[in-house]
A and B are shown apart, each in its own frame.
Chain A
């Protein structure tokens, strides 16, 4: 069996320091998110862009370090990317509905 053959048995030991650093980074990003919400003026669009960018940065950190994808095989990378690809499918087809609803005037959707 492949597992017993050992070509997958290496487990990368991540030093605790890395975890703590990532954790600290996540906390800083959290503070930034909250801070951005209090930015003067009501730039809803800008606010959304900032919040989403921070959220993506956090997700990437968690996936790469806490979930060990950074130290994993290409197969794991493939699966992790599949997750994001499917997320994209979900967004595109759902937004496909929202963006085209107004094309046909219908009662209730003005």
Chain B
């Protein structure tokens, strides 16, 4: 693979300048351009979800419900949840970083089904627009979990429309999942055996398995809610002869594994970044790879831990509790292995690594509090309190979003050909970490003290904790706005990156930044294990921090 660095002023061919009409973007089948389409759209929905979160926190500043009515408060937290989960957290890493990187990392020219890939973006947009339409024409107030019989028989909000939106978005993730599975099975470059694959690929493979096997179940389940709502078919509503617990089983059969759809891809990012900036191979590669698969499988066996107090049999509860403890094992394996990777490594403390370290700390807290919740006796006290809210935000914001930020910064030079500004990026990572903890640490305390989730009135004595949380949320907001500015700024003024500014291993770093439309001039041949940082030194790529990187050969 010949690697050349752009000389100043010289414009090389790449996927970005391959066409500049709007249609060349809207009809593209290039996985890299589709990743950019997704980047823009998920960022938009992240903004919408973030503004709704801001409203929630403003309302909770005071013990009274003075900013909005209870009805509207229900709508605001529901739409926050729906937008964040279905339109942001589930697609964000697979559809943006995964779309961009999976073909590059396996040495392919594109995903297996490029048109299906484009179709998935259109489905995402269609579902997103329908959900948005539902939001502006009345909103939803059922909680993102759509529990019947409230959702099917009593709510007067836009339940049907929102569910149709979520249903369509489900198909977009299935399309992405199928594309990844087929690509990873069938299109690996010669020599790229399964155990030479980057762990990012293993993580995306495991995620795709969950998507393909789980999403159809939630899609049909939500459709049944619509059937009950519109045609009064008795499925979940006891008044019509249905069983509401059945909905919870079917919903969580997907929605617990869905939390791993959100976090597994982030774990893939962490493995790449941690080994690059520690200049070491990932400790226990096989364990990290198989723990992704283990999480995907065991993750399907634990859903009942969401139903300990809702009428499920206590015997089923005991089994689900035990299995939930099991799923923590592969997660812990990963955490130990990342830490061991850093141990005695040659640490280069760049912004992506800061995010990784944040991820490890916050994911540990999130995972351990999950165990409190998975224990039958403690869950009776903690169910439906802010403790649960804090638990899942530690994993979803502290895990998924920090993983995404790490990956976005790490591969930004590859995606855009430009370096992001290191100083402010590091500062931002710290702001996000501080803002995050200020927002959610008090919520553990609140929940333990008994503050229920989804209420906006609360006793006076909890106000201080709520004020801290709201202050943290605004700091966090600043932390997410800063990258918008400096990343956009870097598009024009950032230093030219060169093919491999971090001196990283992996096929994606062997091609130009940004890559050409078909990724590789010739099909690459892989002859060594991944993360071979300590075997030999990569052709030293020095990033000077000011100008273009230079290649010493």
Q: How far is the CB of A2 from chain B (nearest CB, A)?
A: 5
- How many chain A residues touch B (CB < 8 A): the figure is 23
Question: Does B313 lie at the interface of the complex (its beta carbon under 8 Å from any beta carbon of A)?
Answer: yes
Contact A1 B189 (CB under 8 A): yes
Question: Does A38 lie at the interface of the complex (its beta carbon under 8 Å from any beta carbon of B)?
Answer: no
- How many chain B residues touch A (CB < 8 A): the figure is 31
Which residue of the partner chain B has the closest CB to A101?
B313
Which residue of the partner chain B has the closest CB to A102?
B313
- Proximity string of chain A (68-109) to chain B, C-beta cutoff 8 Å, 1 when within and 0 when not: 000000010001001100100110011011111101100011
Contact B217 A1 (CB under 8 A): no
Known: A3-B187, A83-B213. A94 touches B313 (CB 8 A): no
Contact A104 B301 (CB under 8 A): no
CB-contact partner of B112 in A3, A93, A109, under 8 A: A3
Question: Does B170 lie at the interface of the complex (its beta carbon under 8 Å from any beta carbon of A)?
Answer: no
Give Cα A17–Cα B314 distance, bound, in whole angstroms: 54
Contact B186 A97 (CB under 8 A): no
Question: Does B315 lie at the interface of the complex (its beta carbon under 8 Å from any beta carbon of A)?
Answer: yes
Inter-chain CB contacts under 8 Å: number: 65
Contact A86 B245 (CB under 8 A): no
Question: Does B165 lie at the interface of the complex (its beta carbon under 8 Å from any beta carbon of A)?
Answer: no
Give Cα A99–Cα B109 distance, bound, in whole angstroms: 52
Contact A100 B315 (CB under 8 A): yes
Question: Does B188 lie at the interface of the complex (its beta carbon under 8 Å from any beta carbon of A)?
Answer: yes
Known: A1-B187, A86-B213. A93 touches B316 (CB 8 A): yes
Contact B301 A89 (CB under 8 A): yes
Give Cα A108–Cα B245 distance, bound, in whole angstroms: 13
Known: A83-B213, A89-B300. A104 touches B313 (CB 8 A): yes
Identify 16 residue pairs between A and B in the complex whose beta-carbon atoms are under 8 Å apart, listed by A's number.
A1-B108, A1-B186, A1-B523, A3-B112, A83-B213, A86-B300, A89-B300, A90-B250, A93-B316, A96-B315, A97-B249, A97-B312, A100-B313, A100-B315, A101-B312, A101-B316
Known: A90-B217, A103-B313. 16 other contacts (CB 8 A): A1-B109, A1-B187, A3-B112, A75-B185, A83-B213, A86-B213, A86-B214, A93-B301, A93-B304, A93-B320, A94-B246, A97-B245, A97-B304, A99-B313, A100-B315, A101-B312
Task: List chain A positions with a Cβ less than 8 A from chain B.
Answer: 1-3, 8, 75, 79, 82-83, 86, 89-90, 93-94, 96-101, 103-104, 108-109
